Amino acid sequence: MSGFATALPAGRKRRGEGHTRREEILQAAKELFLEQGYDLTTIRRIADRVGISAPALYLYFKDKEALMLALCDQTFSHLSEAIDEIEKTVADPLERVRRFGEAYVRFGLSHPDEYRLVFLNPNIPEPLRRTGHRMPTDDPTAPGVGGALVFKRLVTIIGELDASGTKLNYPPDTCGELCWMGLHGLVSAFIMKPDFPWSNRDLLINGMLDVHLKGIVKA
């Protein structure tokens, strides 16, 4: 047993100059997805950038969708780490919620393609669409669940806000859902209509956070 899931047998040299072809592919795909979006990024172009043929890509990923989902999970784990950091360093529950919101929005805006794929993609190919966005699943290792887990953590944090004695205007679940919906609407709008003349971006982000934080806790 190698203990090195996706690697070759130990000592084995590879064709390409890179050491882990899978990582090379992920990197190239990530660059291209970010440059041109999902649709315009073709398997052939990814392969070209890596320096291999298109079919070689299928040795590492079942299809284009699996490749993108692998990238999504990889990306969402970064957001999850940012939330870990907040939970470790921020004590005040209300401040935690705000910091979560800031991190969430920042993440969405700097990873629009991954955000789109996970949170607002109804046109995903059939097998993926059948399971919605995998939210109902309870297997955290399944591909594509990163977004759902992050959402659940916000609900948890707001639940702690309630437990810490802060009086809420709605049940904790409802507060969490409202807050997430607001942030999600904000991020979606920026992503889907980037050229629209929105008023100042930071004003909108802070405004959304203020509106929801004030609206959630009892006056």
Partner DNA sequence: CCGATAAGTTATCAACGTTCAGTTAACATT
Partner DNA sequence: AATGTTAACTGAACGTTGATAACTTATCGG
Choose the contact partner of 159 out of DNA, a copy of itself, none; CB within 5 to 8 A by kind.
none
* Residue type for position 29: A
Contact residues: a copy of itself, CB under 8 A: 36-40, 116-117, 119-126, 129-133, 135-136, 169-171, 173-174, 177-178, 180-186, 188-189, 192-200, 203-204, 207-208, 210-212, 214-216
Position of tokens 């100059």?
A: 17
21 by Cβ neighbours in 10 Å (0-12 / 13-18 / 19+) ranks as: buried
Q: Taking CB under 7 A as the rule, does residue 129 contact DNA? A: no
53 or 156: CB nearest a copy of itself: 156
Position among 15, 88, 130, 218 found at the interface with DNA (CB under 7 A):
15
Binding residues for DNA, total number by CB under 7 A: 26
21 or 133: CB nearest a copy of itself: 133
Q: Taking CB under 7 A as the rule, does residue 77 contact DNA? A: no
Position among 26, 29, 33, 41 found at the interface with DNA (CB under 7 A):
41
Choose the contact partner of 173 out of DNA, a copy of itself, none; CB within 5 to 8 A by kind.
a copy of itself
118-155 as b/e: b if 16+ CB within 10 A = bbeeeebeeebeeeebbeeeeeeeebbbbbbebbebbb
56 or 94: CB nearest a copy of itself: 94
Q: Taking CB under 7 A as the rule, does residue 131 contact DNA? A: no
Choose the contact partner of 181 out of a copy of itself, DNA, none; CB within 5 to 8 A by kind.
a copy of itself
Q: 107-113: long-range contacts at Cβ-Cβ below 8 A with a sequence spacing of 24 or more?
A: 107/78, 107/79, 107/82, 108/187, 108/190, 108/191, 109/187, 109/190, 109/191, 111/75, 112/190, 112/191, 113/33, 113/34, 113/37, 113/38
> What pairs with residue 217 in β-bridges?
168
CA distance 35 to 11: 36
Contact residues: DNA, CB under 7 A: 8-9, 11-16, 21, 41-45, 47, 51-56, 58-59, 63-65
